[in-house]
Structure 1
Amino acid sequence: MAVALVMVLVVAVSLLFHVVSPWRSTPIASNWGFIDGTLGLTFAVTTAGFVAVVLFMAYCLYRSQHTEGRRAEYEPENQKLEAWLGGLTTLGVIALLAPGLVVWDQFIHAPKEATEIEAFGVQWNWSFRLPGADGKLGSSDVRYIDGDNPLGVSPADPKSMDDIIVVNGELHLPVDKPVKVLLRSADVLHDFYIPQIRAKMDLVPGMVSYLWFTPTKVGEYDILCAAYCGIGHPQMRGKLFIDTQADYEKWLSSQQTFLEMRKAQRQSRHEARSQ
């Protein structure tokens, strides 16, 4: 009897903790409310299962407590009970999996009007590349990476010359404009994650992965690496700034293109040799 009461108390305290707990998801700042909805549904289904199982066990302990003269009845099969358990379990699994598959289908199909940008991960910092006046990113390859070309942008591709190169870990994007983020790694497995955006994806060396989202709230947000990538992993942080269109264009105009970066590097080397 005491154990049954403890189990009921565990259920009550668990539900109360969820209601009064101050720990909640960070306020969303993108179009991925579908992900929050799916997580909420998953939490509801698993909570219902937890409550039902624990309370059923408490009920069984209460009903089956020892009573002088009472004998247990052995029932090896109960098709009605098995049908109920099988049906409820099937419904629970469908409720857990089906919404996730729907959201995943949306997650991997970026809208055609999304602007392609690039996030580049290396132990232990983030760099970014945005399209220039032509609206297209040039080609890139890790074989081109050196001290003068940290992102491995192809110097032979004319479309690369006006690409905007950002190496200080700060990414600016305009609000309410969808973006497709191409993800590349120079060394090990990283993971691009912005909690308020609700989007995350691995950066796998040797391949280009991607994610997409539409920023919906002006503000400043942390860019994290969600895959352990070595001793400097906790310090691998960047910043995402969601700007109004005017602020974004002002920031963009102050950034250096790939061509300008190469000219500045050549000028710097020339001045160093002249001294």
Structure 2
Amino acid sequence: MSETTSHPRSPGFGIVFFLLGIVVVGGFGVGWLPEVKSAHGHGIDGVIRYLLGTTGALFFLGCIVLGYFVMKYGRGEAQSGAIVSNRTQAIWAIVPVLIMCAISEVGVLVMGLPVFAEVYGEAPDDAYEVEVVGKQFEWLVRYPGPDGVFGEVDHAKVHETRNPLGLVKSDPAAQDDIVVRGKVHIPVDRMTVVRLRALDVIHSFTVPLFRVKQDTLPGYTAYTQFTPEEVGVFELACAELCGLGHYRMQGSVIVESEESLKNWLSEQEPWL
């Protein structure tokens, strides 16, 4: 009976891991992030680059080590068993965990907390405030009018065409509220606070170039804030699957000068 012999594996296979590390780390090192047009967006991009850099370095190191072991021990030759102490095993098990905790928790907190404060911290007194309400499948935008006060709303009074937000007609503050569909006009170089509500299901107010993404839930008022750095028209999307028409739930954020914004508001008629 003939004895079957197995051919030794080529240690050159280890080169695959070297190349894999180079391709992956090099690919993420290329500037693939979209432009940023808000003040806090630079900080968010910094956190993303930090995570990609640190985890990419660990991934590349792992590929180098794995490739080395394949090239050294991949010939199929018998190897003498190494005796490793329990202490060494414990170190090799615990140290990587501590390193990952330092990267993912400590590092992210140090870099991310200042950005978090910009997005969810106390807004300045002169911040511009606007309300954006999500419904299947559009964004409704409300401006407080000349009195600077948002009027009362009642969900029971919502009507698709006559009163899409359910403004309470008996409330004087609601008499001058301006309601438009799909267009958020805000000033440049001034913090904007966005009040977010939803009339039906969960939606997600998302402006990619501002690095803004905030979920909004029915029955709850959420807030997000940002400072646009450039005049222009930017995409507003819903990043939460909200139904069959989710793909068409789009709008525009129009960033303009203070004077241009005042002129536009003066040309709008109150909804009621």
SS of the equivalent of 1:196 reads helix
Percent identity of the aligned residues? Answer: 30
In 1, Cα distance between equivalents of 2:33 and 2:96: 33
Alignment of 1:11-30 (within 5 A): 11-19=21-29, 24-30=32-38
State the one-letter code of the partner of 2:81: A
**What do residues 229-258 of structure 1 show as CA deviations (whole Å, max 9, x unaligned)?**
111101110011111222212211111213
Match of 2:140 among 117, 127, 136: 127
In 2, Cα distance between equivalents of 1:17 and 1:255: 49
Give how far 1:115 is off. Answer: 2.2
Match of 2:65 among 28, 41, 56: 56
Q: Is the 8 A contact 2:51 2:103 kept in 1?
A: no
SS of the equivalent of 1:11 reads helix
In 2, Cα distance between equivalents of 1:96 and 1:178: 25
2:53 alignment counterpart: 44
Whether 1:109 and 2:117 are equivalent positions in the alignment is no
In 2, Cα distance between equivalents of 1:116 and 1:17: 40
1:155 alignment counterpart: 169
**What do residues 171-194 of structure 1 show as CA deviations (whole Å, max 9, x unaligned)?**
211111211101111111110000
In 1, Cα distance between equivalents of 2:131 and 2:168: 14
TM-score (norm 2): 0.86
Alignment of 1:61-76 (within 5 A): 61-66=70-75, 68=77, 70-76=79-85
**What do residues 10-39 of structure 1 show as CA deviations (whole Å, max 9, x unaligned)?**
11122333355xx72221111112111111
Give how far 1:76 is off. Answer: 4.8
**Of 206-215 and 42-51, the range deviating more from structure 2:** 42-51
State the one-letter code of the partner of 1:159: A
In 1, Cα distance between equivalents of 2:140 and 2:78: 76
In 2, Cα distance between equivalents of 1:117 and 1:136: 10
Q: Is the 8 A contact 1:153 1:160 kept in 2?
A: yes
Give how far 1:81 is off. Answer: 3.9
Whether 1:251 and 2:259 are equivalent positions in the alignment is no
Q: Is the 8 A contact 1:27 1:196 kept in 2?
A: yes
Alignment of 1:1-275 (within 5 A): 1-19=11-29, 24-32=32-40, 33-66=42-75, 68=77, 70-77=79-86, 78=88, 79-82=90-93, 84-93=95-104, 94-113=106-125, 114-146=127-159, 147-167=161-181, 169-258=182-271, 262=272
RMSD over aligned CA atoms reads 2.1
In 2, Cα distance between equivalents of 1:223 and 1:46: 31
Cα 1:89–1:17, aligned 2, differ >3 Å: closer, same or farther?
A: closer
In 2, Cα distance between equivalents of 1:87 and 1:63: 29
Q: Which runs of 5+ in 1 are unaligned?
A: 263-275
TM-score (norm 1): 0.85
Paired residue total: 256
**What do residues 46-98 of structure 1 show as CA deviations (whole Å, max 9, x unaligned)?**
21221122222222223333575641213152055456434423322322344
In 2, Cα distance between equivalents of 1:45 and 1:157: 55
